[in-house]
Amino acid sequence: MNEFAFTEEQNMLRSMVRDFVDNEIKPIAAKIDAEEKIPEDLIKKLGELGLLGISFPEEYGGGGFGEVGYCIMQEEIARGCMSTATFIGAHQSIGANVIYLGGNEEQKQKYLVPLAKGEKIGAFCLTEAQAGSDSFNLKTRAHLDGEEWVINGEKLWITNGGIANIVSVFARTEKGITAFIVETDRPGFSAGPPEKKMGIKGSTTNPITFDNVRIPKENMVGQEGRGFILAMKTLDAGRLGLGAACLGASKELLELSTRYAKQRKQFDTTIANFQAIQFMLSEMASLIYAMESMVYRTAVDYDLKKDISHQSAIVKLFCSEALDKIADYAVQIHGGMGYSREMPIERFYRDSRINRIFEGTNEIQKGIIARHVLKKNGKI
Ligand code: MYA
């Protein structure tokens, strides 16, 4: 068996993103959290660096790095700011990805290219009041009126909803759930006030209303009635990318905790000499090793065009729970300083919690995994 190794280009991507995060994101991450906003200037720079379309082929304005490159980038971004990682995830791995996975050539040139170049911001509109975990139960409707689709309904918890220019929308038509591309400057589209959240405060989350929003007939994505499957396929990539962000945040927390443990003195010695602290660091490292192994194993399979539905559910489940545990240990190792806003640890602790909820709750992931295991008679 060959050794798993990143290519030179992938390593260069990582070091480019790391430098950018160190210089441009870490210094303002606390401000992003406090002001509950990612500066437009930062979004512009992310676009100029090609990070808002890193996974897509170059012919569609992307970086050509595929899912492995996307995971490398999200790992590094999440080390600095999970709000920014969330913004990128909603824009790229689910919002724009609907068009990449399901769109025709014309739609890709018209909508995916500006999204991938960061000239436009994307979002993914699936969730509704009665359709959270039960996404099949969505009520937003679309009907054809001459040469236009007319969309009516309400979406909830839409990440980037208030700042997106192009959204991928799932609505019910005569033939079932169907996907559409909607430009947000269409009359009848409106975003409500941002939700007040515990963490990832810099990432905006809004309700969206579609009040007789008219879009051209050609903005339907894929086949009518096949939109639910497209939403699920898109979430396969989204959940994997979420795992990568959890991995990056976990690595950052282990490094910060190790540094602190080697410097903080109690009982005339550094706390790194205490087995209680060492055990926490060991557990954190072991979880990170498992996360890294599963994220890149699955990302490689995704780039090989394999079906990774249940594997991405495993990645999402494991990595989000691992990060929560790691963030908790990081607070514990830092003691009072872990609880203080002087350090980024408490922000990671708050930001981490959402990962067990969005992109499908961990209970939904367990359902997906169990269904696969039962179907395959216990094989993974
Ligand atoms: S976005 C919203 C997230 N919402 C969810 O994830 C919803 C959760 N629910 C579900 O996933 C589904 O409803 C479940 C299925 C799983 C419950 N590939 O019979 P079914 C086909 C291909 O299973 P149900 C968000 O939060 C299936 O074969 N096809 O349906 C973003 C069948 O087809 P057919 C698939 O039991 C927030 C049909 O679909 C797949 O009702 C921001 C029906 O399936 C598949 N995978 O429900 C994110 N699955 O009829 C930013 C199913 O032909 C994140 N099918 O047999 C950024 C992260 C990083 C930052 C982190 C820092 C904090």
The C-alpha atoms of residue 304 and residue 307 are separated, in whole angstroms, by 9
Q: Residues near 80 by Cβ (< 8 Å), separated by ≥ 6? A: 21, 22, 25, 26, 29, 252
* Nearest CA residue ID for atom 32, ligand 1: 229
User: Which is the closest atom of ligand 1 to the Cα of 371?
Assistant: 23
Q: Which pLDDT value is given to residue 3?
A: 74
Q: Judge if the beta carbon of residue 126 lies within 6 A of ligand 1.
A: yes
In degrees and rounded to multiples of 5, residue 215 shows phi and psi of -130, 155
Name the residues annotated as catalytic: 359
Nearest CA to ligand 1 atom 33: 229
Decide whether any atom of ligand 1 lies within 6 Å of the 47 Cβ.
no
State the Cα–Cα distance between residues 223 and 200, nearest whole angstrom: 35
The gap from C-alpha 104 to its chain's centroid, in whole angstroms, comes to 24
Nearest CA to ligand 1 atom 19: 136
pLDDT in tens, the chain (380 residues): 567 899 999 999 999 999 999 999 999 999 999 999 999 999 999 999 999 999 999 999 999 999 999 999 999 999 999 999 999 999 999 999 999 999 999 999 999 999 999 999 999 999 999 999 999 999 999 999 999 999 999 999 999 999 999 999 999 999 999 999 999 999 999 999 999 999 999 999 999 999 999 999 999 999 999 999 999 999 999 999 999 999 999 999 999 999 999 999 999 999 999 999 999 999 999 999 999 999 999 999 999 999 999 999 999 999 999 999 999 999 999 999 999 999 999 999 999 999 999 999 999 999 999 999 999 999 99
pLDDT, position 189: 98
- Which is nearest to 122 in space by CA: 69, 84, 158, 153? 158
Q: How far apart are CA 105 and CA 108, in angstroms?
A: 5
Residue 4, pLDDT score: 80
Using N-to-C axis directions, what is the helix angle for 275-303 and 227-263, rounded to 10°?
A: 150
Q: How far is the CA of 22 from the centre of ligand 1 (A)?
A: 34
Q: 48: Cβ–Cβ under 8 A, 6 or more apart, which residues? A: 118
What are the φ and ψ backbone dihedral angles of 262, each rounded to 5 degrees? -80, -10
Q: Is 229 in the pocket of ligand 1 (CB under 6 A)?
A: yes
Q: Which of 86, 359, 371 to mutate to test the pocket of ligand 1 (most atoms within 8 A of CB)?
A: 359
Task: Give the residue among 101, 157, 138 at the shortest CA–CA distance from 361.
Answer: 157
Q: How far apart are CA 51 and CA 130, in angstroms?
A: 34
- What domains are defined for the chain? 2-116 (1.10.540.10), 122-225 (2.40.110.10), 228-375 (1.20.140.10)
Distance (angstroms) between ligand 1 centre and the Cα of 298 equals: 17
CA distance 191 to 195: 11
306 in contact with ligand 1, CB cutoff 6 A: no
